[in-house]
């Protein structure tokens, strides 16, 4: 499994805009190899809110197929696409990529 993480810093007071922005359906939702997307919010800092978005793919190859797909390329070319709208209050974005080496789920006894 392969995971892409985006860590975004936001000014305080923009929670409603952040939630609305990330409740939109992601473009990869029906793309082969996409597993899931988690959007996490950390409000513990006094000055900023941090959103971590983690997108899980079956493999690095599946992720790169999506990145190179005509749909994804067209989305980036279309400057009116909501993907290009900078979320209100956004300060900074960092991107990280990981190979998932372990993942656990609940198992009842």
pLDDT of residue 107: 95
Q: Which two tokens stand for residue 6?
A: 């985006």
Q: Looking at the domain that runs over 2-99, which CATH code has it been given?
A: 3.30.70.100
Closest CA to 57 of 99, 21, 25, 96: 99
Give the phi and the psi of residue 10 in degrees, each rounded to 5: -125, 150
Per-residue pLDDT band for 3 (boundaries 50, 70, 90) equals very high
- Indicate whether 104 pLDDT > 80: yes
Query: β-pairing, 90-99 with 2-11?
Result: antiparallel
Structure-model confidence comparison of residues 55 and 72, the more confident one: 55
Give the whole-angstrom CA distance, residue 102 versus residue 109.
21
Has this prediction a pTM greater than 0.85? Answer: yes
- Indicate whether 23 pLDDT > 90: no
Structure-model confidence comparison of residues 19 and 2, the more confident one: 2
Per-residue pLDDT band for 64 (boundaries 50, 70, 90) equals very high
Give the whole-angstrom CA distance, residue 49 versus residue 99.
26
pLDDT of residue 100: 96
Q: What is the mean pLDDT of residues 72-84?
A: 73
Cα-based angle 72, 19, 21 (whole degrees, multiple of 5): 30
Q: How far is CA 94 from the centre of its chain?
A: 11
């Amino acid at each position: 499994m392969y995971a892409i993480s985006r860590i975004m810093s936001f000014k305080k007071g923009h929670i409603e805009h952040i939630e609305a922005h990330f409740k939109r359906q992601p473009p990869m939702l029906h793309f082969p190899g996409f597993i899931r997307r988690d959007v996490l919010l950390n409000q513990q800092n006094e000055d900023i809110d941090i959103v971590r978005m983690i997108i899980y793919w079956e493999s690095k190859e599946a992720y790169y197929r999506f990145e190179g797909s005509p749909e994804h390329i067209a989305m980036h070319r279309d400057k009116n696409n909501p993907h290009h709208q900078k979320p209100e209050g956004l300060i900074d974005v960092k991107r990280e990529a990981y190979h998932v080496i372990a993942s656990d789920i609940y198992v009842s006894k």
